[in-house]
Each structure stands twice: as structure tokens, then as C-alpha cells.
Amino acid sequence: MTLVGLVVAVVMAADVPAMARPGPGLRGPAWIARGNIELTPELRTAIDAVARVYREKTKRRLEVTSGYRPAPRQAAAMYAKLKAGGSLAIYRNRRLVDPIIAAYREGRRKKWKREKVIAAMTEVLTAQVARGEHISRHLEGRAFDVRSVGLSKGQRAALMAALAEVGGMRVIHESKPPHYHIEILRRARPSSEGAGDEDKGEGDAGRGEGTPPDSDKGRGTDDPEDAPTPD
């Protein structure tokens, strides 16, 4: 590399914090967004709060790998999963999942292009959202994913502690692919339906570490708001 090239490379590296590894240090942003992700102000506030506590404990930055997923983005993610031969079993609300899978299969059977299949899946998701039904909290801008690969036991514990300190969130450690899925719980609000209207903390600590989302089968409630939405 020429001297000029070297200088340019160094300047670029310094100017692009997103490219920096989340190494030790207490300066700069407390977290890093990975890839082309979307975040809402509510998500940024939540991530900031958790990442600051996490950094105090570990001197490291959190890596956020997913955030707000409007319908087309959610459809594309589900398309990729199905195309790869994966299952959508993690989405446990079959009433919402099945029509999306049906749209995918119909498009594939008709040999539609990827974009057209995703558009058909998006249409189903958009109609569900319009009815106030969300297959994933990412669709509502109320979930974000954090990279778990490469975190030490101590760092994982620090993340759990940071979440507990900040409060109002629930974490699920997912295995395929490995990541922490963190949901922002709704604040309790007065309601004639009583406790069922409020997110319960049942998933928080117990399900956190290394426990697949399926493990709480049968112990949930019928309240869709209370049920965790993995992925």
C-alpha cells in the first residue's frame, strides 16, 4: 500500500465507528448497530439504557443486529427462513403464521420471483398489523436483537444484570441463529381485564440463559400481549 493509501485507510477507520470492533473502552457510543437495521426512538432509548449499564460492567459495547421490522422487512426475513428450509415454528401463533406460509407456498408453486412472493407475504402481514395483530414485536418496534456469539459467561451475566437493572424488558436466548431477542414490555395500565392485561415477568430471568423459547410451552397465557414473540 502506498503511503497515501495507508493514511486514507487510517482516517476512514477512525471516521466510521460502525466498523470498529466493540472492544474495551468507555468512550464513544455504548452500542453498535450491525448491518442495515431500522430503529425507532423507543428502541434507541431502551438500547441506550441497557448498553450504558452493560458497558459500565464490562467496558464493552453491545452489538445490535435487528430492530424495527416493518411488514416488508419482516416478510423478507420469513421468506429467507423458509427458502433456507427453516421452520417458522418459533412463531407460535399459528393463526397468524399459517396464512403467511400459505402465501409463500402459493408464490413458489406459481414460480413467482422472490420480490413478488415477498410482496404477497407482506400483504398478509400488513392486514394483520392493521387489525392490531403482530406476529413479532419487531413489527411493532418493540424488540431488538443483540449478538450473543463470542460473549463470555461474565458478559452474558452482565447483560442479564443490565436488563434487570433497567427493567421493563424480557429476554429470550434464541439458538437458530444464536442471539438475544429482547422485548420491551408494555407498561401496566388500568383495565377491567385485570392482571392478564399486563406483561408478566415470568420469562425474564429463568428463560434468559441458554433456554430455547419452546421451553415455556404450556405455561403461557392466552393473552397475545403477554406471550413472548421470539425472533
Which one, 22 or 213, has the nearer CB to Zn ion?
213
Cell of 196: 392478564
Q: How far is the CB of 166 from Zn ion (least distance, A)?
A: 17
Spatial CB neighbours of 175, under 8 Å, sequence gap ≥ 6: 212
Which one, 54 or 180, has the nearer CB to Zn ion?
180
Q: How far is the CB of 230 from Zn ion (least distance, A)?
A: 7
Q: How far is the CB of 11 from Zn ion (least distance, A)?
A: 35
Which one, 133 or 197, has the nearer CB to Zn ion?
133
Which one, 140 or 226, has the nearer CB to Zn ion?
140
- Please report which helix (H) or strand (E) contains residue 33, including its range: strand 31-33
Question: Whole-angstrom distance between the N-terminal and C-terminal Cα of the chain?
Answer: 43
How many residues in the chain?
Answer: 231
Contact 34, 63 (CB under 8 A): yes
Q: How far is the CB of 129 from Zn ion (least distance, A)?
A: 17
Beta bridge partners of 179: 147, 174
Provide the strand spans (E) within 157-230.
169-175, 178-184
Q: How far is the CB of 98 from Zn ion (least distance, A)?
A: 21
SS3 of residue 92 by DSSP? coil
Residues making contact with Zn ion (CB under 5 A):
143, 145, 181
Contact 88, 101 (CB under 8 A): yes
Minimal CB distance residue for Zn ion: 181
Which one, 145 or 199, has the nearer CB to Zn ion?
145
Which one, 226 or 231, has the nearer CB to Zn ion?
231
Going from the C-alpha of 199 to that of each of 45, 69, 228, the distances in angstroms are 19, 21, 9
Q: How far is the CB of 5 from Zn ion (least distance, A)?
A: 40
Q: How many helices (H) and strands (E) does the chain have?
A: 7, 5
Q: Residue holding cell 429470550?
A: 172
